[in-house]
Amino acid sequence: MNPDIVKERQNATFNVEKLTNILDGSPEKTRRRREIESMVLNDPDFQEQDPNFLSRSERYDQAVRKSAQMILKLREFGISDPDEIYYYKNCVHPDRPEPLDLHLGMFLPTLLNQATPEQMDRFFTPAWNLQIIGTYAQTEMGHGWWRCSQRASCSATTPTVLPALTSEDWRPQATFDPATQEFVLNSPTISSIKWWPGGLGKTSNHAIVLAQLHTQGNCHGLHAFIVPIRDMDTHVPLPGIVVGDIGPKFGFSEVDNGFLKLENVRIPLDNMLMKYAKVEPDGTYVKPPSAKLTYGTMVFIRSMIVGQSALALAKSCTIAIRYSAVRHQSELKPGEPEPQILNFQTQQHKLFPVLATAYAFTFVGQYMKQTYNRISGDIHEGDYSGLPELHALSAGLKAFTTWAANGAIEVCRMSCGGHGYSRSSALPDIYVEFTPTCTYEGENTVMMLQTARYLLKSYSQARGGQQLQGSVSYLSRLQPQPVSAGVPPLNIQDLASLVQVYQLRAANLVELAATSIQQELQLRHSQEDAWNSSAIDLVRASDAGLLSVPQALQVSAHIKELLIQLRPNAVALVDAFDLNDKKLNSVLGRYDGNVYEHLFEWARHSPLNASEVPPALTIIVIIKHNQLIGSFFPRSTSLSTST
């Protein structure tokens, strides 16, 4: 054990185990999580080659093998609790995306939330047994969620008769044929080809496809359809299915993100998920209680991403803070030994806010999960009143936490100096695997705009005298006021006082956005144009502040005090995340602090070190010995002796 890391733990002023229990929810949950982690980490079936030294195909093959073993062992051990499945999966694939992610995280949950009991009997059990391997095909090549959210699509509540070619040809179409009791699915344009779904390229044999529903000459908006795409015995693509892998991406090397083109593919009537919306045998459409129910899986994933942001930050600051505790460099005072870089105030100012954010996101992730479960339970009982808030919360928090985490991971990497660039640190991989969360399941700017719509609607209700509940209740309590009106007295050490200032700031920003839209509406006479012309104000509203200059200086001074208070507990606070070395997979973030010995050992495993002279360098050796000079240079060329 590195003596610096030992000293850090001895200086801690709190019980690390108790804090771990709080993060997990209880001592029993900590015990069970560790038990599951031990099951995985000690199982020889999950041993793997370091993916940093494998090709993309090798990484995919290794991930598929481990995923199949994971499903078998989950059944063998009778693990069915969602939290325990999550623990198990995160140890099998330590926070790396894998080929069955969408099968487990989107295909199965969509069946649970949107399938009828009869459809559950047909599809869920085979899917749990891996006879059906599913994905969730939502995004198109030319019509991702950025475009979808910027304009209104074919309404799910107002049927629209479409001409031969409209903007909705960006999406696949499912047209009901009452003569055969089938839907006919087509990708009418090149841009309507499904693009990006994980597991679609090679792994899946079924897909839940989001397509525009057409029946009796009307379009009823996006609905979900279960579409077989490959033969369940041979795995060969079925007739009318053009499917494959989209190629390398920014990270996600283990995942076969794919494309899907539909050419007159026929599926039975009861392959449309009909827990809410329905199509009768004669083609009559029965609309759902809420159009937003179609996007329930999206909301679920956005809620999960909040927790993923917390985990990515927990891993990153664990690595950076542990490494900063054992790394010595530069002199604070001439003639004295080089200090730990964690003793430099600038290093603390980089890392301690990231550590605080990791804790904040952990708790807000738990809150988001509880909120999702509560409102989902209400929906199951027929109460849809909480659905708008759930959409707004999941969209806004998804955007905020992923943006913040994305930047903070890079702060951690840079704080590790040159070694932070090495994939042995794990920080480059954390960054490339996490960054796509800013785009998938809703591009972040669009997510902010969706939340802004909810805030403006709530603001209008509050101004009309309605008492708001939940996350926007402050709009009913506080009257927005201009910054020039002054700031209420602020005690920066009192949490209630800080919350009040943040609420007042938020109320002011919503007021500002509402005023901007009203002004634009008077000029442009179009709600859509007014919204678009105010979009920058809506997204950049967080740039405004309420603190006076003296208060800002007071905050700055207090932050420096907090850095001093946190310094003795920095390593203990990251230890409380309880990230096993195998799960962390970082040489710099090792629990024992023995960084340099293992960094050298890791480097020696590089495939380039398999031989002292790689075969590709043979040609250089030949040139050096002048054995092929004539074939490379004209005989008239003058070569020096050294050449």
Task: Point out the catalytic residue in the list 441, 443, 511, 520.
Answer: 441
Dist CA 43 CA 34 (whole Å): 14
Residue 523 has what pLDDT?
A: 76
465 in a structural domain: yes
CATH of the domain at 188: 2.40.110.10
126 in a structural domain: no
Residue 549 has what pLDDT?
A: 73
Mean pLDDT of 91-95: 86
Going through 190-296 in order, the beta strands assigned E by DSSP cover: 194-195, 206-215, 218-228, 241-245, 258-262, 265-268, 278-279, 285-286
Residue 154 has what pLDDT?
A: 41
Percent of the chain predicted with pLDDT > 90:
57
What tens digit of pLDDT does each residue of 134-177 get? 999 999 998 664 444 333 334 333 333 333 334 456 689 999 99
423 in a structural domain: no
Domain that residue 540 falls in:
446-478+491-546
- Per DSSP bridges, beta strands 241-245 and 258-262 are antiparallel
Ranking 47-51, 161-165, 183-187, 292-296 by mean pLDDT, the lowest is: 161-165
426 in a structural domain: no
Q: Is the pLDDT of residue 445 over 70?
A: yes
Residue 469 has what pLDDT?
A: 87
pTM for the structure as a whole = 0.85
Confidence of residue 576 (pLDDT cuts 50, 70, 90): very high
Residue 137 has what pLDDT?
A: 95
Residue 169 has what pLDDT?
A: 62
Ranking 41-50, 271-280, 478-487 by mean pLDDT, the lowest is: 478-487
Residue 453 has what pLDDT?
A: 87
194 in a structural domain: yes
Stated as kind and residue range, the H or E segment containing 367 is helix 345-380
What tens digit of pLDDT does each residue of 522-574 get? 776 677 777 777 777 666 544 447 667 777 788 888 899 999 999 999 999 99
321 in a structural domain: no
Q: What are phi and psi of 162, to 5 degrees?
A: -100, 145
**Contact (CB, 8 A) for 514 and 546:** no
Looking at every residue in the chain, the average pLDDT score rounds to 86
Mean pLDDT of 337-359: 95
- Top pLDDT among 300 and 348 is at 348
Total count of domains within the chain: 2
Residue 540 has what pLDDT?
A: 56
The CA distances from residue 501 to 4, 85, 213, 504, 551, in Å, are: 41, 40, 47, 5, 12
118 is catalytic: no
Q: Binding site residues, as ranges?
A: 139, 198
587 in a structural domain: no
For residue 103, the number of C-alpha atoms closer than 13 Å in the C-beta half-sphere is 31
Of the three residues 226, 258, 288, the one that is the final residue of a domain is: 288
What tens digit of pLDDT does each residue of 356-404 get? 999 999 999 999 999 999 998 888 888 888 888 999 999 999 999 999 9
What is the widest separation between alpha-carbon atoms in the chain?
Answer: 94
220 in a structural domain: yes
Q: Binding site residues for FAD, as ranges?
A: 139, 198
Residue 496 has what pLDDT?
A: 87
Of the three residues 257, 288, 319, the one that is the final residue of a domain is: 288
What tens digit of pLDDT does each residue of 459-498 get? 889 888 899 888 888 888 876 665 555 556 778 888 888 8
